[in-house]
Amino acid sequence: MSQGKLISHIPHEQETTTSPGGSLENGAFKPERPNLETAPVVLKLDSVSKRFASYSSSFHRFCHWMGLPVRPAAAIEVIQKTSFEVRRGEAVALIGQNGAGKSTLLKLITGTMKPTTGRIDHVPSVSAILELGLGFNPEFTGRENVVHSGGMMGHSPAELQAIMPGIETFAEIGTFFDKPLRTYSSGMQARLAFSLATAVQPEILIVDEVLSVGDAYFQHKSFARIREFRDKGCTIFLVTHSLGDVRELCDRVLLLDKGAIARDGEPDEVIDYYNVLITEKQNALLSVEQRRDKQGWSVTRSGDFRAVVREITLLSASTGAEIATARAGERVILRTEVEVHEGVEKLVLGLMIRNRTGHVVWGTNTWHTHQVIDNVKAGERVTFVYEFDCNLGPDSYSISPALVSSNTHLDDNYEWVDNLFVFDVVNTTKDFFIGTTLLDGAFTIERAQVK
């Protein structure tokens, strides 16, 4: 079926309305976002499939185009009966390995490709950045490409004239704005494409990996604009391999595998499952378990379980007592007890600390610290002790242990448990600060009389 439009279109006045409310989080003001549970649906896919067929001759393909009953020589179904809904104001990430069908699915959503079966409905205002320079003419200048591509996006000449200064300012490509696109670097093309696509806030913004080409400064600037749009009620559909960006920006993650949605849920839960999926492709003997603990953390356990973590405890270095809450700057001891069920040639422990948003605060393993244990026998117990200053900001943190044989879990994954141990950090002795890191520093102030 052809692509349709949602009947319940959101009035234009609501697109730029922001809530006056908000809250303080770690000392920073966080705008109040729309209630996602009651927000209207702006994108809906119903049993969407996309099949690419090949024919034994050009004549047979021509017959197929004319509607004659000619069977293809072969057919590949890239997208398989995919259904999901996205609501106004949601930030959704689409992740998956190369070849999973992510780009094809985006092209179906944006209408540059039609589904073989199924239906796609969305609100009219959609802005997409799918490929660098898509729709741009290499002989046109940046300004001319904005006029040309902006017109195809539905902007009137008067509107383009009004937003042109903002596009030029945000892109920050200087005199190149009036030079041919063929003289641009890939990063400059990304700047121009993103600046045009986000010059006017759409109802749905789709971004496909294009920001990975730009420099670090522009990536930060672009994600700041994406967050601003999200907080104002714009629906974000992000395709990226940067899982850190997904954890920070998105409310929900769709995992696409072999053309089908393998997981649909909260970022931590889906990303942790994705990491397991990558490992499973290397080792078919792995098993995986997922659950939620009492505090709401997603706990994902995978491996062949030749060696397992029996217990993790956090101790005060000064008293030796077991603690669940550490003070910022306090010296603490982390004990990890491992039991070996089957003999392994090499044993490596990896530890990762994340905050409640999934941001990785710190991580390392005993491969990198040159402390690999060789020839560990079945029945042995190994205790790893790590002592450190808890220079973390007030928050809840999780510890994810991994037992492997090298510097990666792709070779041997004995056990990997995301968010196995959770502890809190409070600030009772240090000056007020925000963020996840307590810096060991101090101000010095000098004053001088200016003559």
* 410 lies in the same domain as 377: yes
* Residue 391 belongs to some domain of the structure: yes
pLDDT of 10 above 60 = no
* Residue 440 belongs to some domain of the structure: no
* 227 lies in the same domain as 365: no
Secondary structure of residue 228 in the 3-state scheme: helix
The CA–CA distances, whole Å, from 442 to 226, 355, 438, 439, 445 equal: 34, 25, 11, 9, 10
* Residue 352 belongs to some domain of the structure: yes
Among 23-27, 167-171, 273-277, whose mean pLDDT is lowest?
Answer: 23-27
* Residue 163 belongs to some domain of the structure: no
* Residue 282 belongs to some domain of the structure: no
* 366 lies in the same domain as 256: no
Q: Which of 9-23, 35-49, 272-286 has the highest mean pLDDT?
A: 35-49
C-alpha 223: how far from chain center: 12
Tell me the percentage of the chain whose pLDDT exceeds 90.
Answer: 54
Q: What is the pLDDT of residue 245?
A: 82
Work out how many domains the chain is built from and give that number.
2
What band does 63 get if pLDDT is binned at 50, 70 and 90? confident
* 327 lies in the same domain as 363: yes
Q: What is the pLDDT of residue 27?
A: 46
Contact 225, 197 (CB under 8 A): no
Give me the mean pLDDT over the 295-306 stretch.
89
pLDDT of 228 above 80 = yes
pLDDT of 151 above 80 = yes
pLDDT of 8 above 90 = no
Q: What is the pLDDT of residue 15?
A: 37
What band does 1 get if pLDDT is binned at 50, 70 and 90? very low
Among 128-142, 224-238, 388-402, 422-436, whose mean pLDDT is lowest?
Answer: 128-142
Secondary structure of residue 90 in the 3-state scheme: coil
The CA–CA distances, whole Å, from 7 to 37, 47, 83, 370 equal: 19, 19, 18, 62
* 207 lies in the same domain as 298: no
What band does 11 get if pLDDT is binned at 50, 70 and 90? very low
Count CA atoms within 13 Å of residue 55 on its CB side: 12
* 259 lies in the same domain as 369: no
pTM: 0.74
* 364 lies in the same domain as 414: yes
Beta bridge partners of 51: 77
CA–CA dist 177, 396 (Å, integer): 46
* Residue 369 belongs to some domain of the structure: yes
* 50 lies in the same domain as 20: yes
* 76 lies in the same domain as 206: yes
Judging by beta carbons within 10 Å of its beta carbon (0-12, 13-18, 19+), is residue 411 exposed, middle or buried?
middle
Tell me the percentage of the chain whose pLDDT exceeds 70.
Answer: 89
CATH number at residue 16: 3.40.50.300
CATH number at residue 359: 2.70.50.60
* 394 lies in the same domain as 357: yes
Query: What domain range includes position 381?
Result: 287-426
Q: What confidence tens digit (pLDDT) does each residue in 263-287 have?
A: 999 998 899 888 888 776 655 556 7
- Where is pLDDT greater, at 13 or 72? 72
CA–CA dist 135, 311 (Å, integer): 56
pLDDT of 213 above 70 = no
Both tokens of residue 280? Answer: 């499973």
* Residue 338 belongs to some domain of the structure: yes
* 209 lies in the same domain as 118: yes
Q: What is the pLDDT of residue 240?
A: 84
* 370 lies in the same domain as 414: yes
